Structure 1
Amino acid sequence: MIGTGSRDEARTSRGHRTVVSETTVRRTLELVEPLVKHLARGTEQIAGARSAIDTRETHWHCPACTAVSETTRRLVREQRAPSPSDRWSGRLINAEEGARMTVATGSRTRQVVTLSQEGADELVRAVIAAARTSALPVSVAVHDAAANLLAFVRMDGAPELTIGIAQNKAYSSAAFGAATHQLHELIKEDEPLRLGIVHTPRLVTFGGGYPVVADGRIVGAVGVSGGHYTQDTAVAEEALKACGYSV
């Protein structure tokens, strides 16, 4: 009980009841108040998110839009407020914050145009058609603008070694932005370059690899392997022309 002494005395028991000092009560309220406010804010966020989803008015304007949308919907389904980890991990970014991110990073980023899967498949089909016309079984690889593999086919009868060569031709063309036979022209008269650059992993300096250029931009590359490099070059050129690309 609270006696005539200090108001901050420790708790004492009176039967089955506990009397708590005024200071302890104040400290407890100070700890509980932020939690109550946090829960209130979370309830408002859930209500707003449910309203936006129901009226189809949710608009996300940030690079993490997919994660934001999925996380918000999950919170609504679970009927709970976002946890600190949800909020501060960057998974919950509203439209205003997303817009600020876009403005802040706009001058330090660029858009990249690249072949789609459909475009890659179209090139593969064109190469196979051209190779069949020449009765030449080949392997064909198509890479995107970042020199990553998009599509690959090894025709019946194409030697196993052509699997890697075709991919490396496409990789070399996409990475250098030039046809592989042009790379040989570039290095053949430069002794240090000729002897040194050939040790670069995956580099091919003979014909059969071509960059794919659309509207003046390199959007990918195609690599063909199966015959002499002059035959591979001819097949690649025919396929590119059939798809409307310049050579």
Structure 2
Amino acid sequence: MSRRKKKHDDDHMDESWLIPYADLLTLLLALFIVLYASSSVDAEKFEELSQVFSEIFTGGTGMMDFPSPVAPQQSSDQEEKEGAANNDESDKEDAKKLAFEKDQEELKEIQKKVNQYIKTNELEAQFVTKLTKEGLLLTIRDNVLFDSGSATVQVNDTNVAKELSKLLEMNPPRNIIISGHTDNVPISNAEYESNWELSVMRAVNFMKIILDNPNLKPEWFSAKGFGEFEPAADNSTAEGRGKNRRVEVLILPRVSPE
């Protein structure tokens, strides 16, 4: 009886090894999962992770002593807000650029009208236009409008100012600056003590004739006098001094280029 029982015990195999085997398989599965997840991290972040783990295992430094090697991702809402802000700024810049280009085209059209008037009246030697970053500039030689040393517009030339005023009718209106300039030869008469005063009064008197046009309003205009201090040419020659004695009409842009 005892021999039969002993044989039965020998035939039954010990299965306790299955437990550590199952644990090993679980650890291997976890390892493969970690490796797969790490494969989706870019090389730079993976290198940072490797360095952290190396420091932990070789130097005994705790994980909490290191900053996160992976930068926190911005929320989708924040990214959308930043994207919308960038788009708004870009749209504003594009709109401003288009407005400036349209404004420049309008100034070119005004320049064509003025140039046509100059050509029709054969005034090319006395009038010249130029489109600058400051606006459309019309330059008039002073001998077209004034006698030497005088700020009174010659009677025969008042029609020139009146015709020019019609060309300044714009819708919507623009701001206009009229400025007077002289050469550097000192003035010697009882009416004006300096070229500065002469240049100011020439600009004012010319502007008064322009504003006889009822379609133009004074608040759109301003007058300046620069005397001899903004020469357009060299004052050492008669030709240069002639270019410096001038009246300028500056039609301002509505949109700044910046």
Common topology (TM > 0.5): no
Shorter-chain TM range is under 0.3
Larger Cα-atom Rg: 2
Considering Cα pairs closer than 8 Å and 6+ residues apart, tell me whether 1 or 2 has the greater RCO.
2
